[in-house]
Chain A
Amino acid sequence: MTNLSYFIAGYLVIFGLLGGYVLHLLTLKKRLDREQKELSRQN
């Protein structure tokens, strides 16, 4: 198939964006965990 590369690019973009968002959520969760710990230590 001549347009196989477009097919691969399409799904790379789809899973890339999805994965990126999940990663974003994970880092956000980590940040919140850390901040919560810091704040509870301060109090």
Chain B
Amino acid sequence: MLFVNKNLKLLSFLAFLLVLAAFAMVLFYAPIELNMGIVQKVFYFHVSAAWIGMLAFLVAAVCGILYLNKKQLKYDFIAFSAVEIGLLFTAIANFSGMIWAKPIWNTWWTWDPRLTTMTIMAFTYIGYLLLRRGVDNPEKRARFGSVYAIIGFASVPLTFFSSRLLRTIHPTIFGADTGDMAMIPAMYQTMAVSIVAFTVLFATLLWHRSLLAARESELEILRAQTEVLEFGEVLDD
């Protein structure tokens, strides 16, 4: 079986501790950056969230390929969960990025390639979830979801390249400020712990969500059977 509950509890606990530790490092260990002040510290969780946003898309696309090849619904549960959680983390990355950009760049939004790509990715996630809601047959829903996750994932690097190209052709959109900063070891360490913490958190959430998705699907089947028992007829899709 794919899911073992005892390990999941352990992992949840570990994820909780790691996020707590990372946040403690952000608060007390990482130094305050001289130019940007304390708001720079949003950056640690912001970057980690953005990383998970991309990782989730990769997971969804890989599970999509696996589903199309093996036709086992468990891959679809994982892919769907990855997209839902990926949307959460892209939202976190975008909103925290905006809050960081306001005092630093004096604007909530810039057409920075990473920002643009991340937002378009979020819309691809939303499209995926909407597509699934429009299909009733679970097998077809899984198939379409897989196809869309694959094609969506293939387009992400192109979106990034094109918005980067746009920038090099129009360098005046924004000054030299790209958010790069000189990092000292304490900052690197905080960054690394945050990224590890978020990755473990992602795995935990993914596991929980996939379990719930599997149960949802079981219930769906059970409900269909009950209806057949009650009404004595097969409602075909």
Contacts and interface: CB of A to CB of B under 8 A. Distances in A.
Interface in A1-43: 1-4, 6-7, 9-11, 13-14, 17-18, 21-22, 25, 28-29, 32, 35-36, 39, 42-43
Interface in B15-64: 23, 32, 36-39, 41-42, 45-46, 49
A10 B100 contact: yes
Contacts of A11: 23, 42, 45
A2 B102 CA distance: 13
A10 B96 contact: yes
Contact of A13 (B41, B95, B201, B222): B95
Interface in B102-128: 102-103
B226 interface: yes
A13 to B, nearest CB: 5
Contacts of B100: 6, 10
A12 B125 CA distance: 24
A35 B219 contact: yes
Contacts of A36: 215, 219, 222
Given A25-B212, A32-B215, A7 B42 contact: yes
A13 B37 contact: no
Given A18-B92, A32-B212, A10 B39 contact: yes
Contact count band on B: 20 to 34
B73 interface: no
A36 B39 CA distance: 47
Contacts of A43: 226, 229
A1 B31 CA distance: 13
Contacts of B167: none
A3 B92 contact: no
Contacts of A28: 212
A40 to B, nearest CB: 8
Given A10-B39, A21-B88, A32-B212, A39 B226 contact: yes
- Residue in B42, B49, B88, B205 with the greatest tally of chain A CB atoms within 10 Å: B42
A14 B92 contact: yes
